[in-house]
Structure 1
Amino acid sequence: MTRFDSLSLTFNDQGLVPVIAQDHVSGEVLMLAWMNAEAVAQTLETKKVTYWSRSRQAFWVKGETSGHVQTLVDLRVDCDRDCLLAVVEQVGPACHTNRRSCFYTSVVDGAERELMKPES
Protein backbone atom coordinates (compact mmCIF):
# COMPACT_ATOMS: atom_id res chain seq x y z
CA MET A 1 0.00 0.00 0.00
CA THR A 2 1.28 3.46 -0.94
CA ARG A 3 0.64 6.52 1.22
CA PHE A 4 -1.81 8.91 -0.51
CA ASP A 5 -0.60 12.42 -1.26
CA SER A 6 -3.23 14.76 -2.70
CA LEU A 7 -0.47 16.72 -4.42
CA SER A 8 0.05 13.67 -6.66
CA LEU A 9 -3.33 14.44 -8.27
CA THR A 10 -3.51 16.31 -11.56
CA PHE A 11 -5.30 19.57 -10.80
CA ASN A 12 -6.56 21.93 -13.51
CA ASP A 13 -5.11 25.42 -13.94
CA GLN A 14 -7.41 26.70 -11.16
CA GLY A 15 -5.95 24.11 -8.77
CA LEU A 16 -9.11 21.98 -8.83
CA VAL A 17 -9.99 18.37 -9.55
CA PRO A 18 -13.54 17.17 -10.42
CA VAL A 19 -15.23 14.88 -7.92
CA ILE A 20 -18.16 12.60 -8.67
CA ALA A 21 -20.29 11.72 -5.64
CA GLN A 22 -21.85 8.24 -5.72
CA ASP A 23 -24.22 6.64 -3.21
CA HIS A 24 -22.43 3.78 -1.43
CA VAL A 25 -25.50 1.53 -1.31
CA SER A 26 -27.30 2.07 -4.62
CA GLY A 27 -24.32 3.10 -6.77
CA GLU A 28 -26.39 6.06 -8.00
CA VAL A 29 -24.38 9.02 -9.30
CA LEU A 30 -25.49 11.95 -7.18
CA MET A 31 -23.52 14.99 -8.30
CA LEU A 32 -20.30 16.44 -9.62
CA ALA A 33 -18.35 19.15 -7.81
CA TRP A 34 -14.76 20.33 -7.37
CA MET A 35 -12.04 20.02 -4.73
CA ASN A 36 -8.67 21.61 -4.27
CA ALA A 37 -5.86 19.88 -2.34
CA GLU A 38 -7.03 21.30 0.97
CA ALA A 39 -10.64 20.15 0.41
CA VAL A 40 -9.34 16.65 -0.33
CA ALA A 41 -7.32 16.69 2.90
CA GLN A 42 -10.27 18.02 4.96
CA THR A 43 -12.59 15.39 3.49
CA LEU A 44 -10.19 12.57 4.34
CA GLU A 45 -9.60 13.91 7.85
CA THR A 46 -13.20 14.66 8.84
CA LYS A 47 -15.13 12.21 6.59
CA LYS A 48 -17.46 15.17 5.89
CA VAL A 49 -17.28 15.71 2.15
CA THR A 50 -15.84 19.18 1.57
CA TYR A 51 -15.87 20.82 -1.84
CA TRP A 52 -14.49 24.06 -3.24
CA SER A 53 -17.22 26.43 -4.45
CA ARG A 54 -16.03 28.05 -7.65
CA SER A 55 -18.75 30.72 -7.48
CA ARG A 56 -18.14 31.68 -3.84
CA GLN A 57 -14.39 30.93 -3.86
CA ALA A 58 -14.79 29.19 -0.51
CA PHE A 59 -14.93 25.74 1.06
CA TRP A 60 -18.33 24.10 1.12
CA VAL A 61 -19.05 21.21 3.49
CA LYS A 62 -21.92 19.35 1.85
CA GLY A 63 -25.05 19.66 3.98
CA GLU A 64 -23.63 22.25 6.38
CA THR A 65 -26.63 24.54 5.81
CA SER A 66 -29.21 22.19 4.25
CA GLY A 67 -28.69 19.19 6.52
CA HIS A 68 -28.27 17.01 3.41
CA VAL A 69 -24.84 15.78 4.42
CA GLN A 70 -22.45 13.48 2.62
CA THR A 71 -20.32 11.24 4.80
CA LEU A 72 -17.30 9.77 3.06
CA VAL A 73 -17.23 5.99 2.81
CA ASP A 74 -14.39 5.71 0.27
CA LEU A 75 -12.38 8.07 -1.90
CA ARG A 76 -11.18 6.68 -5.22
CA VAL A 77 -8.68 8.10 -7.69
CA ASP A 78 -9.09 7.48 -11.40
CA CYS A 79 -6.29 6.01 -13.56
CA ASP A 80 -5.10 9.41 -14.81
CA ARG A 81 -5.24 10.91 -11.31
CA ASP A 82 -7.33 13.81 -12.66
CA CYS A 83 -10.75 12.88 -11.26
CA LEU A 84 -12.02 11.57 -7.93
CA LEU A 85 -14.95 9.37 -7.00
CA ALA A 86 -16.36 10.06 -3.55
CA VAL A 87 -18.40 7.06 -2.43
CA VAL A 88 -20.73 8.58 0.15
CA GLU A 89 -23.55 8.05 2.56
CA GLN A 90 -26.04 10.69 1.42
CA VAL A 91 -28.65 12.06 3.82
CA GLY A 92 -31.51 13.70 1.95
CA PRO A 93 -31.27 15.10 -1.57
CA ALA A 94 -27.83 15.72 -3.07
CA CYS A 95 -28.97 18.39 -5.53
CA HIS A 96 -29.61 22.02 -4.61
CA THR A 97 -32.95 21.65 -6.48
CA ASN A 98 -34.01 19.25 -3.69
CA ARG A 99 -33.72 16.18 -5.93
CA ARG A 100 -31.89 13.00 -4.97
CA SER A 101 -29.42 13.45 -7.84
CA CYS A 102 -28.27 16.41 -9.92
CA PHE A 103 -28.65 14.16 -12.97
CA TYR A 104 -32.44 14.32 -13.17
CA THR A 105 -32.77 15.31 -16.84
CA SER A 106 -32.53 12.79 -19.68
CA VAL A 107 -31.99 13.77 -23.32
CA VAL A 108 -33.66 11.38 -25.77
CA ASP A 109 -34.08 12.09 -29.48
CA GLY A 110 -33.20 15.74 -28.91
CA ALA A 111 -35.81 16.26 -26.20
CA GLU A 112 -35.29 16.70 -22.47
CA ARG A 113 -37.26 14.61 -20.02
CA GLU A 114 -37.39 15.18 -16.26
CA LEU A 115 -36.67 11.88 -14.50
CA MET A 116 -37.47 12.90 -10.92
CA LYS A 117 -39.37 15.60 -9.11
CA PRO A 118 -37.99 17.53 -6.13
CA GLU A 119 -38.43 15.82 -2.78
CA SER A 120 -41.06 17.29 -0.50
Structure 2
Amino acid sequence: MNDDREQGTTLDPKWGADGLITGVVTDAATGELLMVAHLNEEALRLTLETGEAHFWSRSRGRLWKKGETSGNVLRVVEARIDCDQDSLWLRVEPAGPACHTGARSCFYRKVDAEGTLSRSA
Protein backbone atom coordinates (compact mmCIF):
# COMPACT_ATOMS: atom_id res chain seq x y z
CA MET A 1 0.00 0.00 0.00
CA ASN A 2 1.30 3.45 -0.92
CA ASP A 3 0.33 5.27 2.27
CA ASP A 4 1.18 8.72 0.90
CA ARG A 5 -0.94 8.28 -2.24
CA GLU A 6 -3.82 6.66 -0.36
CA GLN A 7 -3.79 8.66 2.87
CA GLY A 8 -1.79 11.79 2.11
CA THR A 9 -2.90 15.26 1.11
CA THR A 10 -0.94 15.57 -2.13
CA LEU A 11 -2.57 15.01 -5.50
CA ASP A 12 -0.49 12.26 -7.14
CA PRO A 13 -2.61 10.61 -9.87
CA LYS A 14 -1.84 7.01 -10.74
CA TRP A 15 -1.91 7.30 -14.52
CA GLY A 16 -2.72 4.19 -16.54
CA ALA A 17 -0.31 2.74 -19.10
CA ASP A 18 -2.04 5.00 -21.64
CA GLY A 19 -1.38 8.09 -19.47
CA LEU A 20 -5.04 8.47 -18.53
CA ILE A 21 -7.33 8.32 -15.52
CA THR A 22 -11.09 7.83 -15.65
CA GLY A 23 -13.32 10.79 -14.90
CA VAL A 24 -16.87 10.28 -13.63
CA VAL A 25 -19.07 13.34 -14.06
CA THR A 26 -22.26 13.98 -12.07
CA ASP A 27 -24.65 16.89 -11.79
CA ALA A 28 -23.80 18.68 -8.54
CA ALA A 29 -27.44 19.64 -7.92
CA THR A 30 -29.15 16.31 -8.66
CA GLY A 31 -26.41 13.67 -8.38
CA GLU A 32 -27.34 12.35 -11.84
CA LEU A 33 -24.56 10.54 -13.67
CA LEU A 34 -23.86 12.61 -16.79
CA MET A 35 -20.84 11.04 -18.42
CA VAL A 36 -17.61 9.10 -18.05
CA ALA A 37 -14.50 10.32 -19.85
CA HIS A 38 -10.73 10.21 -19.56
CA LEU A 39 -8.18 12.78 -18.48
CA ASN A 40 -4.48 13.02 -19.14
CA GLU A 41 -2.16 15.23 -17.11
CA GLU A 42 -2.89 18.33 -19.20
CA ALA A 43 -6.67 17.81 -19.05
CA LEU A 44 -6.52 17.50 -15.26
CA ARG A 45 -4.34 20.59 -14.96
CA LEU A 46 -6.67 22.66 -17.18
CA THR A 47 -9.77 21.40 -15.37
CA LEU A 48 -8.36 22.45 -12.00
CA GLU A 49 -6.98 25.78 -13.28
CA THR A 50 -10.04 26.91 -15.26
CA GLY A 51 -12.88 25.33 -13.30
CA GLU A 52 -14.28 23.88 -16.54
CA ALA A 53 -14.03 20.21 -17.47
CA HIS A 54 -11.35 19.18 -19.97
CA PHE A 55 -10.78 15.63 -21.17
CA TRP A 56 -8.61 13.52 -23.44
CA SER A 57 -10.52 12.12 -26.40
CA ARG A 58 -9.28 8.62 -27.10
CA SER A 59 -11.18 8.49 -30.41
CA ARG A 60 -9.83 11.84 -31.66
CA GLY A 61 -6.45 11.52 -29.97
CA ARG A 62 -6.54 15.06 -28.61
CA LEU A 63 -7.37 17.25 -25.65
CA TRP A 64 -10.86 18.78 -25.62
CA LYS A 65 -12.81 21.15 -23.43
CA LYS A 66 -16.33 19.87 -22.88
CA GLY A 67 -18.64 22.29 -24.70
CA GLU A 68 -15.93 23.79 -26.92
CA THR A 69 -18.23 23.54 -29.96
CA SER A 70 -21.70 23.12 -28.39
CA GLY A 71 -21.35 25.68 -25.61
CA ASN A 72 -22.50 23.01 -23.14
CA VAL A 73 -19.58 23.48 -20.76
CA LEU A 74 -19.34 21.72 -17.43
CA ARG A 75 -18.45 24.09 -14.59
CA VAL A 76 -16.68 22.13 -11.90
CA VAL A 77 -18.15 22.60 -8.43
CA GLU A 78 -15.99 19.95 -6.77
CA ALA A 79 -13.32 17.47 -7.83
CA ARG A 80 -12.59 14.34 -5.82
CA ILE A 81 -9.96 11.66 -6.36
CA ASP A 82 -10.52 8.04 -5.32
CA CYS A 83 -8.45 6.23 -2.69
CA ASP A 84 -5.66 5.07 -5.00
CA GLN A 85 -5.83 8.19 -7.17
CA ASP A 86 -6.65 6.48 -10.45
CA SER A 87 -10.19 7.84 -10.88
CA LEU A 88 -11.58 11.35 -10.65
CA TRP A 89 -15.12 12.38 -9.73
CA LEU A 90 -16.24 15.75 -11.04
CA ARG A 91 -19.39 17.30 -9.58
CA VAL A 92 -20.48 19.90 -12.12
CA GLU A 93 -23.06 22.48 -13.12
CA PRO A 94 -23.85 21.64 -16.75
CA ALA A 95 -24.67 24.50 -19.16
CA GLY A 96 -26.78 22.15 -21.27
CA PRO A 97 -26.90 18.51 -22.31
CA ALA A 98 -23.80 16.54 -21.37
CA CYS A 99 -24.08 14.05 -24.23
CA HIS A 100 -23.00 14.89 -27.78
CA THR A 101 -26.31 13.31 -28.94
CA GLY A 102 -28.23 16.09 -27.21
CA ALA A 103 -29.36 13.87 -24.34
CA ARG A 104 -28.99 15.30 -20.82
CA SER A 105 -26.84 12.31 -19.82
CA CYS A 106 -24.73 9.93 -21.90
CA PHE A 107 -26.51 7.15 -19.99
CA TYR A 108 -29.93 7.59 -21.62
CA ARG A 109 -30.47 3.93 -22.62
CA LYS A 110 -31.37 0.97 -20.42
CA VAL A 111 -30.09 -2.53 -21.15
CA ASP A 112 -32.47 -5.39 -20.41
CA ALA A 113 -31.60 -9.01 -19.63
CA GLU A 114 -31.65 -9.92 -23.34
CA GLY A 115 -29.28 -7.08 -24.23
CA THR A 116 -31.97 -4.93 -25.82
CA LEU A 117 -31.59 -1.16 -25.44
CA SER A 118 -34.44 1.22 -24.68
CA ARG A 119 -34.52 4.93 -23.96
CA SER A 120 -35.05 5.78 -20.31
CA ALA A 121 -36.79 8.83 -18.91
Tell which deviates more after alignment, 81-90 or 105-114: 105-114
Please list, as runs of the form range in 1=range in 2, the aligned pairs for 1:1-120 lying within 5 A after superposition.
4-5=10-11, 8-110=12-114, 111-116=116-121
Amino acid paired to 1:47: G
TM-score, scaled to structure 2: 0.87
Superposed CA RMSD in Å reads 1.3
**What number of residue pairs does the alignment pair up?**
113
SS of 2:100's equivalent in the other structure is coil
Q: Which runs of at least 4 in structure 1 moved beyond 2 Å after TM superposition?
A: 2-5
Alpha-carbon separation, structure 1, partners of 2:118 and 2:60: 30
Amino acid paired to 1:76: R
Instruction: For residue 3 of structure 1, report the CA deviation from its aligned partner.
Output: 5.1
Percent same amino acid among aligned pairs? 43
Alpha-carbon separation, structure 1, partners of 2:90 and 2:46: 13
Unaligned runs of 5+ in 2: 1-7
Unaligned runs of 5+ in 1: none
